[in-house]
Structure 1
Amino acid sequence: MNQTQDKLLEVKGLKKHFPYKQGMFSKKMGHVRAVDGVDFTVYRGETLGIVGESGCGKSTTGQMILQLLEPTEGEIWFEGKHLTGLDKGEEKAIRRNMQMIFQDPYSSLNPRMRVEDIVAEPLRVHGLGRGREIREKVVELLRLVGLDAHHLSRHPHEFSGGQRQRIGIARALALHPSLIVCDEAVSALDVSIQSQILNLLKKLQKELQLTYIFISHGLPAVKHISDRIAVMYLGKIVELAERDELFERPMHPYTEALLSAVPIPDPTQRKERIVLQGDLPNPANPPSGCHFHTRCPYVQDMCRQSAPSLQQQADGHFVSCHFPLQELRNLI
């Protein structure tokens, strides 16, 4: 990724802590640190993949970027504007340029609405046309995603999962956004359909100059579509690098373990699977020091005592680890 490109989105120190309560009187006991200090930049025209285990905070991060959740702390800058503290008019204008494709194509579409009304709803809300003009725009949007005008009068239950997700994509494109957050956009689909949707997203990105944040727990899908990849663990980014660099030379032990679980297409080849010991720690009471030290095969005393920061180790390759280099870890 050419770092001289325009910065579309900047996230600085982003946190989201959810209070939790217990007992008969619902006494507040503490906070779940869903996102605990995240920094990254998204450049115009690229796809940034965000990957990690369930509960790592990746979907919460996406929801805060779209202002669906209010951050506990931190800054979000989009097209040079600070998103915190916008009035209703400014927020509505910004939202035209930021859209989401949801995980479940079955529940993200209103079953009582026809396809024409589902895709036209954003246009009507923002006052972008009426009557025949809106209908023509909807037909064009359906054509872009591989559907036809004869689908207009149908309801979501008359479509397959892949077709429903295409409808969701058409709805996200209706306002010509600059940024689309794809939150597990293919994980609910069959593998063969996943590849079709991923290829469609890449085609649309090229034709419409779109920028994506692609959130997923599936590394093959993230590798297929992303330019850069951020790896999250327990609310923090532990590694961020160009796609090929990350897959060929991971520098964080968590990334290394994730990559070891990716199947190899050639059955004659074997690779050693790294099985992490223990469960994901409780985000309401994360470990001291490095959050990963309770499961890390290379853990040292320093890891238990102090938390590493995200530091650049090579050109465009950032890692949050006291012992980031594979060569150094092999000597431990």
Structure 2
Amino acid sequence: MVAREAATSAVDLPSFKRSQYWAPRRARIRVIYTTQRCASPQLNAQGTRQQSTADLTQLPVVIRVRSRVQNRAWHHPTKSCLSVVAADVVDHVLYASVYPSPTIRMTITRSHALTRTLRVLYWLPLGIAFTHYGYTVKTVRGRSMQPTLNPDTSPWDDIVVFDRLGIHSGKPIARGDVVSLRDPVDSRKMIVKRVVAVADDFVQTLPPYPDAEVFVPEGHIWVEGDEPFRTLDSNTFGPVPLGLVDAKLSYIIWPLHRIGPLNLPERPISKMGVPRDSQWRDAMAAFERERKRQSRITATPAGSDKTAVP
């Protein structure tokens, strides 16, 4: 690096006091300080200022200095093992433009990378336990739960909060809950369905189930997709053991215009004088679909709306 020229006749290396400095990570270290004493500029025989350069290569710091305040104190970054390449002394101002050597830069980078790696490893077990037994966020793909999830009006797949904590803590599963479970036909797959009936309920089935009505035994649930023409559910494989349930879907977090909890469809409210648009019609269709589905369920006196997960 070529040092700039300074208008001094002689270079008197300054002494310094303490001050503040700013040292960003993996970047040039910038220190602000000034001299306590410095040689004054002198004129040569031709009446012009003599030019000289101050070489401070032995100073054990890397600095980028800008200061015009005389006697400002400064703080020395001890044990930095970095050195100034060149500097200029002009009146009571010291300018230094310096860069760390490749070896020092590599050492600093490796040190920061090691620190980040150790932090990740420290929190990794807690993160795994939290996502396995607590909450996680996943993208729901497919169209079997339309219009509750991934409606045709949305160009993005829904991202939903999966609640495993309630399932593993024995919180009861209720009719109307949207759950994720292992596919009874292919255990390698996870599917998302709505709980239609719980233990001790009678269900009027839909094709292709061979029986017109089925009883849900203890420790089982009956699940269906909200879109009956695009789903493979209990009407195909029958009641599902509770042990296959992985999580309950509780909240949509993406896309932004669909943020909100996953609740059962409700009857839309029609305002006086306001025409019923397509959004109102879709909400009404979802409400009627859910009402018809609930009419197919008959709970026995021994049954209840909820059943505990073993």
Q: TM-score, normalised by structure 2?
A: 0.23
Name the TM-score, length of structure 1 as normaliser: 0.21
Q: Considering only CA atoms, is the larger Rg found in Structure 1 or Structure 2?
A: 2
User: Higher helix fraction: Structure 1 or Structure 2?
Assistant: 1
The structure showing larger relative contact order (alpha-carbon pairs under 8 Å, at least 6 residues apart) is 1
